[in-house]
Structure 1
Amino acid sequence: MSAGEAEPCPPPDRSDTVDRATPVRDGTTSPSAQAGPDDTMLLIADDASAPPMRCPEPMWAILVGEVDIDDAEPDYLRAVTWFSGSWVERYPATGPYDGDVVVRLTDPEDPALPLPRDAVVDVEMLLAHHGRWRRVGHWPAADHRWPHLIADTAATVMCLHGETGGTAVPDRSGDVAAARPARAVLSRPRRNNSLLELVVAGLLSPGDEFVWDRPRLLARHVVRIGAHGEIILADGQSCATPTQATNALGGSYNNGWNVFRRVSDERTLSDLRAMLQERRGY
């Protein structure tokens, strides 16, 4: 793996979202109520149900939300403690969606597999990169343990994207073995203008305040939008992308678009970019 000039990925910790919180000081608050978004699906957790084995109609894929891996252990002992996502219908890989990671669950393609095949699934992970969906990994004929097979790959791609402000590009040397994560390499770091697109469209304004509630840490992070669409943390640090901001705040491997919620109207950054794509007719 070539990491260019990226800094090492921060160790994960436990996080979640809540609806309400009681402010304290220095941009951090302690939540007074604990709840998660209704559409969040727990793939790996203490109370997770059996994972889905196909994408139900009309859903196209699972949008990866958060992966929490115990990096305190050696690589060969790393344990996935949390993996969540949400169902999404098909959407474009362009503009503000650049960097999203999705998982598709399809019927096994191998004709040699015995019938019935309901207990196995072909798992494909895709990354939105430069206007195209690109394959990050492929795990054919996986059983119900597929979330554990793919979690490390999802975490790696999300980490690389967040650390560079750019995007991780999949290795194109071939499909990935079923029990081994895909190898990702970094493209040349580039300026990510996804948030700036929202500012230009009038859906986001410099100075807008967003919060990230984390009940498992009893904390809330308050950030604001800068003049050029960057995210400014409470300590003044500037981040080019939402995922870069969650990494800087010590988060587990998060899709930052889903965790930051605007104070004025409770909309997430993901909600705002969906509104932009609706305007564009996608």
Structure 2
Amino acid sequence: MEYFENRERAESFGEVATDYDTYRPIYPAALVSTMINAAEAGPGSRVPRVLDVGSGTGILAVQLRDTGAEVLAVEPDEEMAAVARSKGLDVEISGFEDWNARGRTFDLVSFGQSFHWVDPLVALPKIRGLLEPGGSLALAWNDIEPCGELRERLDAISSRFHGGGASASLGTAANQETATNSAATTPDNFEPVEHPALAQLRAMNFTPRESTFTEDLHYSRHGWLSMVFTHSAQLTMDPVKRAVMREEMNAEIPTEGLAARNEALLILAQPSH
């Protein structure tokens, strides 16, 4: 099953909208700057027009707005949209596949942690029609993991509760250079796997390119667990199992918290002509 077909997971975030906004991370400043630089506003001095899809509580949309861009958010969940609106964002409530653009066009269409929730066969042709000449599609994911052997211990707990074992984040950068360098220091690494969005983009006549933005972070025990348990895999668990999983993870994390690394992935793509 594709992620966008699992509607239980896709629609699970509203119940934790406040926690989602509090504990989900912002994107690295360099990633946001690269994204907004791709929004070619054309002739004249008008500000770039951005459509942020699956905007959630507006985490990425606020960062884009703060660069001076004009941002419209589209979000299907009313609770998430309410948080975004409380930040002064313009939000239209709709699934992207059904959203009516009413003739509006944009210099940038962005997805922050959300592209896997739309059907690419529907979304990508629609995006092509929404982009101004020279405009870009931007797909961004934060990919945050604990540093050191604590990652292995927490992954082992997750694999017991989710059955399929620990898996790469949806935002894991899949470029050959990163994977090759990593394999040189970690002999047990799998062969590099291309991010699925790249094949989807090429199949729909977009030209994509990847960039990775790395930052070192520190989380308190509570902050880390609160972030982890705003992810759909945990939100859709049996509540008792979810509580036990959280307690087991809590016992592994030192009282002083943990060091983590974000290898945030940005895919920029333009329609091929």
TM-score in same-fold range (> 0.5)? no
Q: TM-score, normalised by structure 2?
A: 0.30
Q: TM-score, normalised by structure 1?
A: 0.29
Normalized per residue, the structure richer in helix is 2
